[in-house]
Amino acid sequence: MYAVALSLPRTGSLARRPIFDRSPLEKEFRQRIAVVRKLLDATDSSPGAPGATSSIDVSRETRGLSIVLLYAAYENLLKGISRTLLESAVQLRLGNRRLKPEFQVFAIHAKLQALTDISAPQIWKGSGRGVIDALLDKSCSINSNIFPNDGSHMKTAQVVTLCEVYGLNPPGPILREAWGRINTVVSERNSIAHGQRTPEEIGRNYSIGELRNLVDIWERRWCEFLADVGNKASTRDFYREPR
């Protein structure tokens, strides 16, 4: 009986869970990419393709809308990575004083924002001291809903900002071919979203083969980026200062 008990798998709360669980983020990202592929398949008017028998050709419009969906998948992934990193720090039950400076900024974010609206004397009295007290707090006051938005509207600068804020590896060498495509995807998405250009106009920039290739690159490289974040953020030392 004792030997059998030892062989049973660990389940539930007893099983060891990764500090940074990237699985839900990867699953959602791949699902969003799968939707893009379905749309392309349904409207592919190439000879022999599923959409070739349709009497209405909306392939260009679909290719343009696919760019919007690629942007949405990327934006959602970045924000999900940020949220999961912060949630991981909170779940480690580290007090503000033990957090690395990268995470301490999030712990005192609200107090830092409040400093912009106070008079100079208050900095030296209540509010300024409040920031110091928060840094020394034994509890964790991180708000996981904060995203380190740098105002670049999801262009490459935003990816760099995210990596620098959290102490992650430089993104360019990981994203490779996708890195040089980010700003174009953002620009084309914005031109559709703000009514400057139509999905059909953007769709003309791509053949079906070119867009399928972009979708493959987008999925592969962003999943590799997510895996790199997961590897980097898999230990307690990523979040805490050494004693």
In this prediction, residues 58-72 reach a mean pLDDT of 97
Question: How far is it, in rounded angstroms, from Cα 81 to Cα 20?
Answer: 9
Count of residues in the chain: 243
Instruction: Strands of 53-200 (E only): list them.
Output: none
pLDDT one-digit tens code per residue, 197-238: 999 999 999 999 999 999 999 999 999 999 999 999 999 999
Which pTM does this prediction carry?
0.87
Question: How far is it, in rounded angstroms, from Cα 148 to Cα 243?
Answer: 27
For the packed helices 59-91 and 23-43, what is the interaxial angle rounded to 10 degrees? 180
pLDDT one-digit tens code per residue, 157-209: 999 999 999 999 999 999 999 999 999 999 999 999 999 999 999 999 999 99
- Report CA-CA distances (Å) from 209 to 40, 215, 216: 10, 10, 11
